[in-house]
Amino acid sequence: MLKIFSLSLCLLLSIFQLAAQDSKTFQLHSHNDYLQTVPFWTAYSAGATSIEVDVILQDGKLMAAHEVESINPKRTIESLYLDPIAEGLKSGVISKIDFHLLVDLKTSAYPTLEVLLESMKDYSDILFSQENPEGLKLIISGNRPKPEDYEKYPAWMFFDYQSKVLSEDLPWEKIGMVSLSFRQFSIWNGKGRMVEDQRKAVQDFIDLVHSFDKLVRFWGSPDSKSAWKAFYNMGEDYINTDHPIAAAEYLSKLGENVYQNPALQDVYQPKFEVDGAKTPVENVILLIGDGNGLAQISSALFSNGNQLNLTQLKNMGFVKTQAADDFTTDSAAGATAYATGEKTNNRALGVDPAGKALENLPDVLDGYGFSSGIITTDQLTGATPASFYAHHPERDDSDQIAAYLPKSKLDLFIGGGGAKFSSEMENLHEAGFTMVENLGETSAERIGYFVANDALPKKLEGRGDYLLESTAFALDFLAKKKTPFFLMVEAANIDSGGHENSSSMIVSEMLDFDQAIAEVIQFADQNPGTLVIITADHETGGVSIPQGDIASSTVELAYHSDDHTGIMVPIFAYGAHADEFRGVYENTEVFHKIMKLVKMNIE
């Protein structure tokens, strides 16, 4: 039974290792690997290419231990390493040897090596040689013979050279790596950044070792994400860690988590002439960045030369996003709160927790003479846009949701998902909607534009300036009506980036959103009486920003989750009565603040 369990474990670990190796461009040294709960296999599963075992010669056996007091008779180099490797190769769990063992001798070099040589005769078929160039190599560390004796040992045995002094006359062909204590160079604890002169000393030594075409490792080095990344960036060949699986997971995702913005966007400078003015509110523009938290905004800011259109604004606050039935909202409940001023259950669109229909902003504002429109980078049956026209308890019932669009008070809708409305086309025409195929000039009173039959592509997949152009068209179309208007613009795929833990998607989608924000701010400057509100329905991904570089437009994002979180989201306002949106409040208050300002015009 134990053998079957061990083999199953090895198979699972092997699968994990192969997945990790597919994406990694780093090498790990599993420090004191014999102390792991599952020695060897933990390191192997993480794709470690250097695996360390301390060895003590006692009673003719090579015990895996750091000191005599910790010796366990069952834990030998054979039982923990050589036998599993041989069995793994035989069973196919190990397809090839792409790692070595670093054997740290804790007892005198020469007698310990004599026993090691004798023990290795039983494993000759797996060892490196001219005839077996892909065989197992052992690198001897700790107590070592004199360098002049290295050549006396077999082809599979190499040595760990430990000195700052390197020269051409060393026996380089028998040196497997160069290792030194990190404390010879730096006192850095792995938090923040290394002091520059210490960092340079480490880098210089790495470069020196590389000049002899050899690999380098530091022991006693900090063992944290910041440290792993720093050593990776400096080119340390074997990153020393006691946590190989965690290190492999972090480093393998660096390519996804780090994003460099290829081109900076210009930023519009608001005039602030109408910002906070007590002029009557004639137009309300609500921009919702789905899933867009403070870290998402910050990542775009740092990737764009430390400036955004959004961050020019001065009136801001925070919104609490909880749903009626859950601490963490979904987009349906979050958008319904903005659209109706009422909390509802997750998954519900435009209805209260009991399922009763709630009037949304386009419905209510129609009674005050407002035109209205919605734009989204999502499908139009998506939770956020649907909250502004539908009344249904389940967000995934696309057919039922689509049926509400012809009945809505909307004058304009632009988004994807046209296929979901195929059965509603006649009803849309009867409701007075002219379905257009582009955003050209039109004299129609009500316009519908399905940009795609299904989902729109992401920004990095070629969506182009769709959101900016749609926003500009909508502003022009609604302004020409010569009536007050309400417009909701959703940037949906910031949320997708959070769900996928994709830094590139988050930054690119937020920067795309920021271009639409600039268009709206400029419109507000040109049209006093316009109120602009920019917020999010919730945060997605539990995103943080551990590192970045503003000069190179690069950020590293880290993720706590692949789902929504309950953290407050920022809200920004510009234009007429923008100062009313300062503070911390519930998401429902956005609706009530809007209505308060609209009603002031009547009174």
The whole-number average pLDDT for the span 280-290 is 98
Is residue 600 within 8 Å of 573, Cβ to Cβ?
no
The predicted structure's pLDDT at residue 131:
95
- Summarize the confidence of residues 396-407 as an average pLDDT: 97
pLDDT, residue 603, reads 58
User: What is the rounded CA–CA span in Å between residue 2 and residue 74?
Assistant: 16
Residue 511 phi, psi dihedral angles, 5° rounding: -65, -35
Q: Is the dihedral of CA 194, 504, 473, 448 positive or negative?
A: negative
Mean pLDDT, residues 139-146 taken together: 97
Among the listed residues 331, 372, 398, 496, the single catalytic one is 331
Q: What is the pLDDT of residues 214-259, one digit of tens each?
A: 999 999 999 999 999 999 999 999 999 999 999 999 999 999 999 9
The sign of the torsion formed by the CA atoms of 162, 164, 170, 174 equals positive
Q: Please check whether residue 130 is in contact with residue 92, taking contact to mean a CB–CB distance below 8 angstroms.
A: no
Average pLDDT, the chain: 95
In CATH terms, the superfamily for domain 2-252 is Phosphatidylinositol (PI) phosphodiesterase (3.20.20.190)
Backbone angles phi, psi at 374, to 5 degrees: -135, 145
What's the rounded Cα separation, in Å, for the pair 488 and 458?
20
Is 186 considered catalytic here?
Answer: no
- Listed in sequence order, the residues at least 6 apart from 544 whose beta carbon sits closer than 8 Å to its beta carbon are 295, 557, 558, 559, 560
The DSSP bridge partners found for residue 239 are 28
Spatial neighbors of 369 by CB under 8 A, at least 6 apart, are 483, 484
Q: Which class for 63: exposed (0-12), middle (13-18), buried (19 or more C-beta within 10 A)?
A: buried
Q: How confident is the model at residue 311 (pLDDT cuts 50, 70, 90)?
A: very high
Q: Find out if CATH 3.40.720.10 is the number for domain 277-410+449-602.
A: yes
- Residue 442: pLDDT band with limits 50, 70, 90: confident
User: Each residue of 56-104: pLDDT tens digit?
Assistant: 999 999 999 999 999 999 999 999 999 999 999 999 999 999 999 999 9
pLDDT value of residue 19: 40
pLDDT at res. 31: 97
| Interatomic CA distance for residues 366 and 45, integer angstroms | 62
Least confident of 28-32, 66-70, 187-191: 66-70
Q: What is the DSSP letter of 323?
A: -
Query: Using 50, 70 and 90 to split pLDDT, how confident is the model at 202?
Result: very high
Read off the pTM: 0.89
Report the pLDDT value the prediction gives residue 443, as an integer from 0 to 100: 87
**Sequence spans of domains, the chain:** 2-252, 277-410+449-602
Write down the residue that tokens 């895996």 correspond to.
Answer: 64
What pLDDT sits at residue 23? 44
Give the whole-angstrom CA distance, residue 10 versus residue 333. Answer: 45
Confidence of residue 361 (pLDDT cuts 50, 70, 90): very high
66 alpha-carbon distance from chain centroid: 39
pLDDT at 24: 54
pLDDT above 50 for 288? yes
Give burial (CB, 10 Å; 0-12/13-18/19+) of 423.
Answer: exposed
Q: Among candidates 511, 569, 519, which has minimal Cα distance to 331? A: 569
For residue 8, give the 3-state DSSP assignment: helix
Q: What are the pLDDT digits (tens) for 526-554?
A: 999 999 999 999 999 999 999 999 999 99
Condensed to tens digits (0 to 9), the pLDDT of residues 318-351 reads 999 999 999 999 999 999 999 999 999 999 999 9
The kind and range of the H/E element at 281 are none
**H or E stretch at 118:** helix 109-120
Bigger pLDDT: 603 vs 494: 494
Query: By C-alpha distance, which of 167, 154, 17 is closest to 98?
Result: 17
